[in-house]
Structure 1
């Protein structure tokens, strides 16, 4: 467990624990699964809430794909998994792995329906899926227009810093399989 929390590789963890690499991988995923279930609490956000999604490359270690599919696509595509993020003014966070490709209002609502009360003010970009979400949540919405960095003094800096932290954390584990991404997010 110490090796996992330090960010050691599977090979390093196996060497430290005196086990084979496969066992090290299996144990890592069991620990991560427990961590994900423990951190999946029902956190309710309050005050000003900042929303945005982060795209993560979908990886399937050990599986080869055809050449035409193997080219990395930029922007939104089925080769990317959404990690939806919300952070409020008190630094309470909701981070959850969601669908591939373009995120839909239905999925966003399922994630946020019990986490963002109607008295909150939500700040987000102008993603089309947020239009339906804000109607369903019944919140005051500050929509930062496309191409702009702020509106009425509100920015997405707080949630973008959260994205940077997530990216830095995930990078340390090098090549996380799509199957286990939610468990690493739980950690």
Structure 2
């Protein structure tokens, strides 16, 4: 049996070794945290729409930014904001603003199915009188499908909550959706 009494290990040696290993462990932990944050932003896509329409005494300007988070290649969920200004000369001016939640399902790469809940505040000022101005909330629930290629999806959606008082001219609407 060997005698190890002549080997003495100084406390400094233990401190240096402990610091070395703890630094390695913290570095690995910080790397995992940084990677998880990077993984989150790699799955986020930004997009939306911009619209401009001008005619004889008519103006239509809209801005609708949105962002989605891709849980995997099949499912994404996102939020959007919307602002729209409409004006018909000598008749009315309207401001619409609000938010939406969108869910996307891609059963195959080329097909996209969507459900979008939209809540808009509508402010309509009729020209010539303030007493006929209207302020109300409009809720829409769109179910849609489209063909997807690259960053863009072209399709149609249907507002299942549509009635004769809806702010939209029709319950059925085409769309172009782009996310980068």
Same fold (TM over 0.5): no
Question: Which of 1 and 2 has higher RCO (CA within 8 Å, sep 6+)?
Answer: 1
- Higher normalized helix content (fraction of residues): 1
Computing the radius of gyration from Cα coordinates, the structure with the larger value is 2
- Higher normalized strand content (fraction of residues): 2
TM-score (structure 1 length as normaliser):
0.25
TM-score (structure 2 length as normaliser):
0.26
